[in-house]
């Protein structure tokens, strides 16, 4: 674990302690995604309290931060502009805009309040009425899109994925285009169609160019796919014309989510020349509801892959900037009794880091805003079972996958439910992202 540009204060370091346990016993299960070492932020509501507000997941519960703030147990540091009722809002943006020192202060306070062996948590732990108001079972919570997303950018930063796609559709000996190893390739997507996990996705219609026909036809996508990705949320923007330096970029990142950038491969193949994907990508992007902060991921920091050639100066940063995040994809047909795990990979394989992506995104002067979403691009590993899309897993449908419940899949069929999962494995605990789920509905006629 090494990142000289992001020193960790001692009180924050204590929140990573693998020996720390919570008085919320479900958080102490080694298989739980939300132990006290995680404390991811999201937005939720309940049937009895329909106003969406900010919460933190721990164990099988959501902590209502608006209740804790109102009770005086959770303080936003004095002088923080806009801090009044910041947790009683339907998006995280206003809280995020308060800055990294506030994010860290709130994390430290929550870790102390929820820890089994600290006296500061006694007021919440021992006050039955307050505990009843402040803790909501996850099963009873409706989870919302955690941030208002001003802009969405998707990158193409997995060397293994880019090599697979280049080999599939171009000369395998020249799978990577000359610019790929020089900069993080990306495109601007549609923020308006980013949806939260659990939202059904309708199969898109579009133009399809069939190999035996001179002109395209209009119809439903026949090669619907997933892209196993993560995304990061911008926590501090930059002014127009003022780039973010690579060595400082992580201070501008609030946290990460799981991201499924649904892809209509056949629509994309016809439309992407000369300006890239359009309708093939704009119909939906699904993200997980919980934002895992970079601070929670700090213990899982690892070295990024060696980059050859060495990047230009503006893309260089010292230290380790990858993270050991295990990732999995499950496919569950509508009538099947169980899901099939179709891919397992790891975020640590990503060639271009989040810091490099953000530095490159802004180097020409592009401004970013709090809540902007940046997709990693499909995350593929070095082995066939670690590829992050059906396009690769089935090699464009030529080698269909066998499913546990019988049958095969080349691409996604109507009624299929796809689940992305991700976690960092600690010593006796795991920092998880929860799930990123979407079910495919038939195309409109």
**Which pLDDT band holds residue 122 (cuts at 50, 70, 90)?**
confident
What integer best gives the mean pLDDT of the chain? 95
Residue for token pair 């395998």: 172
What's the confidence (pLDDT) of residue 3?
54
Judged by DSSP in three states, 429 sits in coil
> What is the average per-residue pLDDT within 246-267?
98
Say what the pLDDT of residue 67 is: 97
Handedness of CA 109, 46, 31, 419 (dihedral sign): negative
- pLDDT-derived band at 4 (thresholds 50, 70, 90) equals very low
Average confidence (pLDDT) over 94-107: 96
Are 172 and 411 a contacting pair, CB within 8 Å?
Answer: no
Average pLDDT over residues 333-345: 97
Token pair listed for 247: 């060595």
CA atoms within 13 A on the CB side of 246: 18
pLDDT by residue (tens digit) across 179-238?
Answer: 999 999 999 999 999 999 999 999 999 999 999 999 999 999 999 999 999 999 999 999
DSSP β-ladder status, 152-155 and 373-375: parallel
Token couple for 221: 């996508």
Q: Are 280 and 411 in contact (CB under 8 A)?
A: no
pLDDT digits (tens, 9 = 90+) for 53-96: 999 999 999 999 999 999 999 999 766 666 678 999 999 999 99
Quote the pLDDT of residue 120. Answer: 66
**Residue 1 pLDDT greater than 50, yes or no:** no
pLDDT digits (tens, 9 = 90+) for 368-377: 999 999 999 9
Could you give the CA distance from residue 241 to residue 243 in angstroms, rounded to a whole number? 6
Q: How confident is the model at residue 171 (pLDDT cuts 50, 70, 90)?
A: confident
Q: Which active-site residues does the annotation give? A: 161
Q: Choose which CATH entry (3.40.50.10490, 2.40.50.100, 2.30.30.230, 3.40.250.10) describes domain 10-143.
A: 2.30.30.230
The span from the CA of 240 to the CA of 257, in Å, is 26
Binding-site residue positions for Mg(2+): 261, 281, 285
**Cα–Cα distance between 392 and 133 in angstroms, integer?**
48
The pLDDT value recorded for residue 118 is: 74
CATH number for the domain whose boundaries are 152-441? 3.90.850.10
Binding residues for Ca(2+): 154, 227, 229, 261
Direct distance between the N- and C-terminal alpha carbons of the chain, in angstroms, rounded to an integer: 53
pLDDT at 364 over 50: yes
What residues form the annotated binding site for substrate?
Answer: 156, 170, 268, 272, 378
The proportion of the chain whose per-residue pLDDT surpasses 70, expressed as a percent, equals 97
Domain boundary assignment for the chain? 10-143, 152-441
| Mean pLDDT (whole number) for 319-333 | 98
Mean pLDDT of 415-440: 98
* CB within 8 Å of 214: residues ≥ 6 apart: none
């Amino acid at each position: 674990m090494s990142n000289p540009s992001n020193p960790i204060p001692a009180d924050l370091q204590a929140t990573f302690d693998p020996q720390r346990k919570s008085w919320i016993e479900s958080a102490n299960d080694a298989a739980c995604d939300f132990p006290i070492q995680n404390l991811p932020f999201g937005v939720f509501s309940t049937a009895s309290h329909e106003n969406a507000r900010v919460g933190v997941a721990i164990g099988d519960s959501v902590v209502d931060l608006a209740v804790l703030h109102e009770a005086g147990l959770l303080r936003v540091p004095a002088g923080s502009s806009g801090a009044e009722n910041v947790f009683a809002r339907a998006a995280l943006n206003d809280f995020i805009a308060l800055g990294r020192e506030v994010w860290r202060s709130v994390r430290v306070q929550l870790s102390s309040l929820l820890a089994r062996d600290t006296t500061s948590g006694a007021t919440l732990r021992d006050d039955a009425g307050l505990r009843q108001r402040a803790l909501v079972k996850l099963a009873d919570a409706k989870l919302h899109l955690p941030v208002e997303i001003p802009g969405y950018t998707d990158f193409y930063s997995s060397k293994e994925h880019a090599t697979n796609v280049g080999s599939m559709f171009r000369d395998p000996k020249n799978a990577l285009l000359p610019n790929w190893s020089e900069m993080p390739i990306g495109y601007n997507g549609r923020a308006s169609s980013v949806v939260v996990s659990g939202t059904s996705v309708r199969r898109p219609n579009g133009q399809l160019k069939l190999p035996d026909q001179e002109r395209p036809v209009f119809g439903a996508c026949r090669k619907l796919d997933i892209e196993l990705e993560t995304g990061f949320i911008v926590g501090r923007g930059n002014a127009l014309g003022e780039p973010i330096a690579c060595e400082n970029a992580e201070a501008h990142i609030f946290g990460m989510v799981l991201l499924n950038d649904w892809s209509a491969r056949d629509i994309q193949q016809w439309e992407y020349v000369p300006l890239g994907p359009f309708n093939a990508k704009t119909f939906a992007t699904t993200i997980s509801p919980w934002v895992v902060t970079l601070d929670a991921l700090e213990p899982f920091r690892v070295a990024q892959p060696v980059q050859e050639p060495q990047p230009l100066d503006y893309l260089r940063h010292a230290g380790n900037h990858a993270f050991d995040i295990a990732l999995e994809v499950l496919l569950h047909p509508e009538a099947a009794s169980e899901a099939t795990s179709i891919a397992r990979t790891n975020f640590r394989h990503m060639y271009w880091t989040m810091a490099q992506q953000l530095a490159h995104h802004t180097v020409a002067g592009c401004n970013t805003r709090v809540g902007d979403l940046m997709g990693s691009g499909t995350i593929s590993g070095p082995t066939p079972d670690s590829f992050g899309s059906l396009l690769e897993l089935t090699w464009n449908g030529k080698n269909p996958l066998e499913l546990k419940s019988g049958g095969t899949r080349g691409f996604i069929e109507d009624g299929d439910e796809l689940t992305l999962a991700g976690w960092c494995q600690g010593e006796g605990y795991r920092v998880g992202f929860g799930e990123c789920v979407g079910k495919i509905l038939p195309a409109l006629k």
